[in-house]
């Protein structure tokens, strides 16, 4: 299932200065703590610039983390438009089987609009506490946890609130979120394959876990920019779009004391208010930036813990590139930018594909974890280097399962099975093997370093996976709608 192409145009025709995009790319690639994966820019309904940093590619699914929430909200918008849910309905009314268990008056007063706006009344994230109260049904665990304040009075970024909103939609429709969205959103927008992580109950998570292309992010943003219309056809009501994208609850100071000015502007129905426009927002730099004042949408995927810095670069460099009308005489500049975007690539790790000396010492060499297995790192128990017909393999053993990675020549070596990865690096000296593993359907990179003298290895995530660090789970679900 492939996506229909978006309407495209040159930057100059849509009033976008290529020089500003160049400057943004320069700043992005110079930022040591930002690893960009993709960029799409839409202006006046046209795709004017797009690029993927190899080994990432346009058709590759990518874990969107909390941009998933904006898709869950959109499913709720459809359900509201169809009369299946009401924003002022008590949450408990959708789960009558829990009626006798939920006795706290604040829990019983919680409305659909409260879980949609992260205003359940809890002061902080409840995921671990709710899960501990009911390991089989997160909704029940969440409702069993009494809110600290009256619902609607306080913001807390709270995964079970979004999970509960998604669970309501799945209950009233009798479908998964992707199943419900396919004919209403995904097909009309021309979206190809997507996949969403589900829990043990079979519910898609709602708060995270959606895997889609960058193109999917851009299309969702364009739908909201056009107030719910797509190619002249009404999909979502403009009333829903207006409600979803306005501030319902203040967020100032809610995300910590550091300078996070784009997190202090208020929260809608799974959309953040920004200094400019509003956005869907996913961990490590997955962004759907909707800029009504510029009639533009910017979609990014990345791997960074410095998300405010990434937004700062957009505001500093891309916003000034949006001008009021067409820019004549810019064809050469547009061509140069298009060529640059086509050649984007992440620098591979340095290293030789063969040991510089004593290769016999590395043949069949086995390594144990240096300092023991760490809780926030892969639970690797062994690493082995073996010979193969086309070079050498690095075998990583975790929970009794082995993942073999081919150490290739210079650059990235891409493999699709048993999961999509790209590998770079090799021997940095006689005694050290260092390999980077890019898990291509996620934002995550792992560096494995083996030391021959003491036969130990270290394994380090550059950004820690939030759905658990098991290597063989670092891919999109293969059941998709």
* pLDDT one digit per residue (tens) for the chain, 481 residues: 567 899 999 999 999 999 999 999 999 999 999 999 999 999 999 999 999 999 999 999 999 999 999 999 999 999 999 999 999 999 999 999 999 999 999 999 999 999 999 999 999 999 999 999 999 999 999 999 999 999 999 999 999 999 999 999 999 999 999 999 999 999 999 999 999 999 999 999 999 999 999 999 999 999 999 999 999 999 999 999 999 999 999 998 665 544 568 999 999 999 999 999 999 999 999 999 999 999 999 999 999 999 999 999 999 999 999 999 999 999 999 999 999 999 999 999 999 999 999 889 999 999 999 986 665 578 899 999 998 887 899 999 998 999 999 998 889 999 999 999 999 999 999 999 999 999 999 999 999 999 999 999 999 999 999 998 789 999 999 854 4
Q: Does the residue 137 lie in any domain?
A: no
Do 224 and 286 have their domain in common? yes
pLDDT in tens, 358-393: 889 999 999 999 986 665 578 899 999 998 887 899
Q: What is the pLDDT of residue 481?
A: 40
pLDDT in tens, 68-82: 999 999 999 999 999
Do 303 and 429 have their domain in common? no
Q: What is the pLDDT of residue 375?
A: 56
Residues 6+ apart with CB under 8 A from 401: 472
Q: What is the pLDDT of residue 376?
A: 59
Do 336 and 405 have their domain in common? no
Do 259 and 181 have their domain in common? yes
Do 283 and 379 have their domain in common? no
Do 308 and 371 have their domain in common? no
Q: What is the pLDDT of residue 4?
A: 85
- Residue ending a domain, among 288, 310, 342, is 342
Do 338 and 374 have their domain in common? no
pLDDT in tens, 202-233: 999 999 999 999 999 999 999 999 999 999 99
Cα–Cα dist 228/234, whole Å? 6
Contact 41, 22 (CB under 8 A): no
- Residue ending a domain, among 283, 315, 342, is 342
Cα–Cα dist 245/228, whole Å? 12
Q: Does the residue 40 lie in any domain?
A: yes
Nearest to 290 by CA among 241, 255, 233, 250: 241
Query: Rounded to a whole number, what is the distance in angstroms from the first to the last CA of the chain?
Result: 10
Do 388 and 425 have their domain in common? yes
Do 314 and 377 have their domain in common? no
Q: Which domain holds residue 281?
A: 12-82+166-342
Q: Does the residue 478 lie in any domain?
A: no
Do 329 and 410 have their domain in common? no
Q: Does the residue 131 lie in any domain?
A: no
Give the number of C-alpha atoms closer than 13 A to the C-alpha of residue 350, restricted to the C-beta side: 3
Give the number of C-alpha atoms closer than 13 A to the C-alpha of residue 18, restricted to the C-beta side: 23
CATH, residue 429? 2.40.128
- How many domains in the chain? 2
Q: What is the pLDDT of residue 1?
A: 58
Nearest to 283 by CA among 301, 260, 263: 301
Q: Does the residue 60 lie in any domain?
A: yes
* Rg of the chain in Å (alpha carbons): 24
Name the one residue in this structure whose structure tokens are 């193969």.
388
Q: What is the pLDDT of residue 410?
A: 81
Do 33 and 177 have their domain in common? yes
Q: Does the residue 160 lie in any domain?
A: no
CA angle at 211 for the pair 400 and 124, rounded to the nearest 5°: 85
Q: Does the residue 105 lie in any domain?
A: no
- Residue ending a domain, among 280, 307, 342, is 342
Q: Does the residue 91 lie in any domain?
A: no
CATH, residue 31? 3.40.710.10
Q: What is the pLDDT of residue 480?
A: 41
Q: What is the pLDDT of residue 75?
A: 98
Do 317 and 422 have their domain in common? no
Cα–Cα dist 148/154, whole Å? 9
């Amino acid at each position: 299932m492939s996506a229909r192409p978006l309407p495209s145009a040159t930057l100059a025709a849509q009033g976008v200065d290529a020089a500003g995009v160049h400057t943004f790319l320069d700043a992005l690639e110079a930022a040591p703590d930002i690893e960009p994966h993709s960029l799409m820019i839409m202006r006046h309904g046209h795709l004017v610039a797009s690029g993927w940093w190899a080994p990432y590619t346009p058709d590759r699914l990518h874990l969107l983390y909390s941009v998933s929430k904006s898709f869950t909200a959109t499913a709720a918008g459809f359900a509201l438009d169809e009369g299946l849910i009401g924003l002022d309905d008590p949450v408990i009314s959708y789960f009558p089987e829990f009626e006798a268990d939920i006795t706290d008056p604040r829990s019983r007063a919680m409305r659909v609009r409260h879980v949609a706006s992260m205003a359940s009344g809890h002061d902080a994230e409840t995921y671990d506490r709710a899960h501990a109260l009911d390991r089989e049904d997160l909704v029940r665990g969440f409702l069993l946890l009494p809110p600290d304040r009256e619902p609607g009075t306080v913001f807390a970024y709270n995964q079970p609130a979004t999970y509960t909103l998604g669970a309501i939609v799945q209950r009233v429709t009798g479908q998964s979120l992707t199943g419900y969205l396919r004919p209403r959103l995904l097909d009309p927008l021309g979206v190809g394959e997507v996949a969403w992580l589900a829990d043990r109950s079979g519910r898609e998570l709602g708060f995270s876990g959606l895997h889609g292309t960058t193109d999917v992010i851009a299309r969702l943003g364009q739908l909201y920019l056009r107030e719910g219309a797509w190619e002249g056809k009404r999909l979502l009501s403009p009333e829903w779009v207006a409600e979803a994208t306005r501030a319902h609850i203040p967020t100032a100071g809610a995300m910590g004391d550091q300078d996070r000015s784009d997190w202090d502007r208020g929260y809608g129905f799974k959309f953040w208010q920004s200094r400019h426009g509003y956005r869907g927002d996913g961990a490590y730099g997955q962004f759907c930036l909707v800029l009504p004042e510029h009639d533009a949408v910017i979609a990014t995927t990345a791997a960074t813990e410095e998300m405010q810095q990434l937004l700062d670069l957009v505001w500093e460099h891309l916003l000034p590139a949006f001008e009021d009308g067409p820019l004549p005489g810019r064809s050469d500049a547009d061509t140069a930018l298009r060529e640059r975007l086509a050649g984007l690539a992440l620098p591979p790790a340095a290293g030789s594909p063969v040991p510089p000396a004593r290769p016999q010492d590395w043949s069949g060499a086995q390594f144990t974890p240096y300092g023991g297995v760490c809780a926030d790192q892969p639970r690797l128990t062994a690493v082995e280097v073996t010979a193969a017909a086309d070079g050498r393999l690095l075998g990583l053993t975790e929970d009794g399962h082995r993942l073999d990675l081919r150490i290739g020549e210079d650059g990235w070596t891409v493999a699709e099975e048993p999961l999509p990865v790209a590998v770079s690096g090799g021997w940095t000296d006689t005694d050290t093997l260092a390999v980077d593993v890019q898990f291509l359907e996620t934002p995550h990179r792992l560096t494995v370093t083996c030391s021959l003298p003491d036969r130990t290895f270290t394994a380090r995530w550059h950004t820690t996976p939030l759905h658990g660090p098991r290597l063989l789970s670092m891919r999109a679900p293969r059941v998709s709608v």
